Amino acid sequence: MTSAQPVPVDEQRMAQLWIRFKADDEKAFDQLVQARYRVLFNYATRFTKDRDLIKDCIQDLFLELWNRRAAIVETPYVTIYLIKAFRNNLFRRMRREAARPVVTAEMLEWETVATDELTVDHKWIADEMLMSTEQSLRQAVDQLPKRQQEVVFLKFYEGLNNDDIAQVMAVEKQTVANFLYRAMTQLRAALPVRLFA
């Protein structure tokens, strides 16, 4: 895995935990779970609202890592590794659980095409006055096409750079920039000006 940025201190800590848990250190493993559970959970809510499915999927990922700890690679980019592995598992799982009301990777592609050009629903711009900033942001992000939501999450929740996001989503770096540009345009249209100045 490559990254132009220096590895942040927090990631260095993750990498140390990773090495220790590969060497059978249970405490390090539990600490890693604690430290990275949130980002994986919140990331998954961009794809499915089924919280139990998400929880199972995260548990499976971590237990699989624990079971295969001797075999897995050493990496300085633990968070990105986890997000990538989790993304694969989650999509596979969602496809398998197709009977459940979830969004699959195929539907994501389809939905992107279908909704990317849609303009924002202006009705809730008026409602916004009554909502807290957090709620209006939450709603505005929810209105974005799924792939844009994913980019927005990786960018503004985890602070990944565009190279890493491109890698996680298996798209070109330029595509990430386009998604971000479109997401910001739509957010600006949907949110009050005061948030942007």
Partner 1 sequence: MPDYKTYTFDEFILDDRFLRWVLKNEPADQTFWNEWLQANPDKVDLVLAARQFVSQMQQAQEELSDEELTNEVARIQMNRQKVQDLDELQPLYPQQTPTRFMNWARIAAAITLIGLGVLAFFYWQTPNTPLAIYQHTVEQHAGTLQEIHNTTNASQLVRLPDGSKVTLYKGSRVSFPRTFTASKREVFLIGEAFFDVVRRPKQPFMVFTNQLTTQVLGTSFTVRAYPDDKEAKVIVRTGKVSVFKTPPSGKLGELGGNEPALILTPNQQVTFQTHDRQLERSLVALPEPVVNPMGQPQTLIYEHTPVVSVFKKLEVAYGIMINYDADLLTGCELTAEFGPESLFEKLDLICRATNSTYEVLDAQIVIHSKGCR
Binding site for partner 1 (CB under 8 A): 5, 8-10, 26, 29-30, 33-34, 37-38, 41-42, 45, 49-53, 55-56, 58-60, 62-64, 66-68, 131-135, 137-138, 141, 152-153, 155-159, 161, 180, 184, 195-197
Compare residues 133 and 174 and give the one whose CB is closer to partner 1. Answer: 133
Q: Nearest 5 degrees, angle CA 114-CA 152-CA 117?
A: 25
Which is closer to partner 1, CB of 71 or CB of 113? 71
Query: CB of 184: closest distance to partner 1 in angstroms?
Result: 6
Q: How far is the CB of 120 from partner 1 (least distance, A)?
A: 16
For residue 55, the SS3 value is helix
* CB contact at 8 A, 96 and 119: no
CB of 112 to partner 1, least distance (A): 19
Distance CA 178, CA 181 (A): 5
> C-alpha 192: how far from its chain's center?
25
Residue 113 or 126: the one with the smaller Cβ distance to partner 1 is 126
Nearer to partner 1, 113 or 123 (CB): 123
